Structure 1
Amino acid sequence: MSKIEEYILSHIDAEPEVLKKIDRDAHMKLLQGNMTSGHLQGRFLKMITQMIRPKRVLEIGTFVGYSALCFAEGLVEGSELHTIEIDDELEDRIRDNFAQSEHGNKIILHIGDALDILSGFPDESFDLAFLDADKEDYCLHYEDTLPKIRKGGFILVDNTLWYGKVIEEVKSNDWATRAILDFNRKLADDDRVEKVILPLRDGLTLIRKK
């Protein structure tokens, strides 16, 4: 961790203990434990949820449930988050993590392919969405998610700077980076939305549906 990161984390709201435990367990027990949103991004997700005040939130890519709990923390009572995870081997861990939090009751977990599950939601049924699943599916997930967002609603897309690889020469077999580049180009030309890339953590794109 750089000194500037240490400074930032010491001058923002503390990471809740339950999230600290979930993050630590993911890093210790899972090969890709660094996929959790973490302290800084987690506090941002909670804050922006409080700003937007959505009634219904959609998340694609639950992983261990860290980011879902951050959104849930920012939701007012009576609001709900639908989160989708394709890896059924993570289900027990996710449900256990949700059960540890006082905000877990605001979350509805769906296990399966996001494209199949999204088809069951009516159009304009969500106020906010967070895309953080397989990078090679970003364009598909975006196109299927956009109709589900109300006019004036928001989409957040994670990892859009992809470890800085978006400005480097891409290796021929680096499909994830190519997918991120394709998504960023597609979004830049999309006049259905307004968009801004925030250099937060690994790049977070904030999109508003016109």
Structure 2
Amino acid sequence: MSDNLNYELLNQFAEVYSSKEDPLLAAVNDFTQKNHAEPHMLSGHVQGLLLKMFSLMIRPQRILEIGTFTGYSALCLAEGLTEDGCLHTIESREHTAAIAQNFFDQSPIGHKIKLHTGLAADIIPQLDETWDMVFIDADKTGYINYFELVLPKVRKNGFIFADNIFFHGEALKENAKGKSGKAVKEFNNYINNRTDIEKVVLTVRDGLYLIRKR
């Protein structure tokens, strides 16, 4: 690979040469950018399409999302659900959950999404499901705990996706700074050292760990 590749240009290329953003997703994106204090937390166009494609390939019956935010990634993931499928998504902040629910209500597949408001560590043990897919995109200090909570309930050959594993480049440094950067670096090492899973790092956006349960 050429050393002259520009990361920003690659991102722009990905935006232009990927399928256009769905109108409802564009509305979620626009609202979040204009009204939320942390719009960078949105999955966004290219990563959203990637999640949708993975879901369509896997055709999951049950998906768990930890970290709903304003609902963009949940709407993408729900596209691949089976006819009787359901996506459970957890958001800790009531105001943000209400925004997501409003967008779910506008979607023709919104009835397949069940939104839970509260702490993921409390809600996950209450969900009596076997997961085909799990998407972890919540507080970074909780990543290892969330992984340990969900792995026993993931079916054999099921998948876990963990977002933001670069954490703006901080987790790539030898001495990561800040509690979130340090937590993500610890999570990455924890996943890398496990032998009961297969994993691959995807260099999309802020880094995505794709993990398969053996």
The TM-score bracket by the shorter chain reads over 0.9
Distance apart, 1:170 and its partner CA? 3.5
**What secondary structure is seen at the aligned counterpart in 2 of 1:74?**
coil
* Counterpart for residue 158 of structure 1: 163
SS of 2:152's partner is helix
* Runs of at least 4 residues off by over 4 Å: none
Kindly provide the CA deviation profile for residues 108-160 of structure 1, in whole angstroms up to 9, marking residues without a partner as x: 0011111111111236x111100000001001111001111011100000001
Q: Distance in 2 between matches of 1:103 and 1:11?
A: 26
The one-letter amino acid of 2:148's match is: E
Q: 1:32-83 CA deviation, whole Å, 9 max, x = no partner? A: 0111100000000000001111110000000001000001122232111000
1:3 Cα offset (Å):
2.8
Instruction: In structure 1, give the amino acid aligned to 2:194.
Output: D
Q: Could you tell me how far 1:167 is from its partner in structure 2?
A: 2.4
Equivalent position of 2:186 in the other structure: 182
Match of 1:67 among 69, 73, 78: 73
TM-score normalised per structure 2: 0.93
**Aligned partners of 2:198, 2:44: CA distance in 1, in Å?**
26
Is 1:17 paired with 2:55?
Answer: no
- 1:206: which partner in 2? 210
Q: Is the 8 A contact 1:81 1:106 kept in 2?
A: yes
Q: 1:189 to 1:158 in 2, by over 3 A?
A: same
Name the SS of the counterpart of 1:143 in structure 2.
helix
8 A contact 1:49–1:75 mirrored in 2: yes
AA aligned to 1:21 is: A
Provide the aligned length of Structure 1 versus Structure 2: 208
> What code does the residue aligned with 1:11 have?
Y
What does residue 123 of structure 2 align with? Answer: 117
Match of 1:36 in 2: 42
Whether the aligned pair in 1 keeps the contact of 2:172 and 2:185 (CA below 8 Å) is no
**TM superposition shift of 1:2:** 2.8
Structure 1 spans left out of the alignment, 5+ residues: none
How far has the Cα of 1:84 moved from its partner?
0.6
Alpha-carbon deviation of 1:169? Answer: 4.8
Q: Which stretch shifts more, 2-11 or 82-91?
A: 2-11
User: Conserved in 1, the CA contact under 8 Å of 2:60 and 2:80?
Assistant: no
Query: Which letter maps to 1:25?
Result: F
Aligned-partner Cα distance in 1 for 2:23–2:113: 19
Query: Which of residues 128, 136, 141 in structure 2 aligns to 1:131?
Result: 136
1:57 touches 1:129 (CA, 8 Å); kept in 2? yes
Tell which deviates more after alignment, 114-123 or 180-189.
114-123
RMSD (Å), alpha carbons: 1.4
Identity %: 41
Structure 2 CA distance for aligned equivalents of residues 108 and 35 of structure 1: 21
SS in 1 for 2:79: helix
TM-score (norm 1): 0.94
The alignment partner of 1:181 has SS state of helix
